[in-house]
């Protein structure tokens, strides 16, 4: 019991940083309404560069809280066009429903991952392969747009993949613990899990609403 408590004493710090990240991203999304359209592409490129930096940093040193909150703020801004699109096409109520669904799914998976005795470390390689496949399909979709049915299937797979990442990340914290230096990086992982889960669920709601 003592070893378990020692390994997991930083989890509240991770959850606190994650909650702050979501709040900052929300502010960024609100500010996105006032950002000139010409700036969204440069901001998206900056976000991608920061994401690549975070990927390589996790192999060595830790991230700073400044990096975490700067990234989530920019991410919130670049998420605005997506949210605005769905608000205009399917309505704010359905967007809020998608957000609520994401929160419930995320919380349920988090509770399961931190209470089960199973070790889900084996999921890491499979989830990375699935994530790379999703990225490849998204690039393909830019040049050869998928049909609504194919995009619906893609989104459902996305929900499964990022649900898997929620389980993997929370279970990893339970099984292996988190050092104080790792807190910002783990909070970033959870933020990305939540954001991508939300975008895929929102896309599903959007496609299903358009078929009505």
> What's the pLDDT at 76?
97
The pLDDT confidence band at residue 3, using thresholds 50, 70 and 90, is very low
Residue-wise pLDDT for 10-36, tens only, equals: 889 999 999 999 999 999 999 999 999
Domain range annotation of the chain: 2-211
pTM score above 0.75: yes
How open is the CA angle 181-183-188, to the nearest 5 degrees? 125
Query: What pLDDT, on the 0 to 100 scale, is given for residue 10?
Result: 81
Residue 18, pLDDT score: 97
What is the structure's pLDDT at 60? 53
């Amino acid at each position: 019991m003592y070893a378990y408590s020692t390994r997991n004493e930083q989890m509240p710090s991770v959850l606190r940083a994650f909650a702050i990240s979501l709040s900052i991203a929300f502010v960024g999304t609100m500010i996105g309404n006032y950002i000139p359209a010409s700036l969204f592409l440069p901001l998206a490129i900056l976000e991608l560069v920061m994401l690549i930096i975070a990927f390589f940093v996790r192999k060595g040193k830790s991230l700073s809280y400044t990096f975490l909150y700067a990234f989530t703020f920019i991410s919130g801004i670049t998420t605005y066009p997506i949210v605005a699109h769905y608000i205009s096409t399917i309505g704010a109520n359905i967007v809020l429903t998608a957000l609520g669904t994401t929160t419930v799914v995320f919380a349920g998976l988090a509770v399961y991952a931190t209470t089960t005795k199973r070790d889900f470390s084996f999921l890491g390689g499979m989830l990375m392969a699935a994530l790379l496949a999703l990225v490849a399909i998204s690039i393909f979709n830019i040049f050869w747009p998928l049909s609504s049915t194919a995009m619906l299937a893609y989104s459902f797979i996305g929900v499964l993949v990022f649900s898997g990442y929620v389980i993997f990340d929370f279970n990893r914290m339970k099984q292996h613990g988190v050092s104080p230096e790792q807190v910002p990086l783990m909070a970033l992982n959870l933020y990305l899990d939540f954001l991508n889960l939300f975008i895929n669920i929102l896309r599903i709601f959007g496609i299903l609403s358009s078929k009505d």
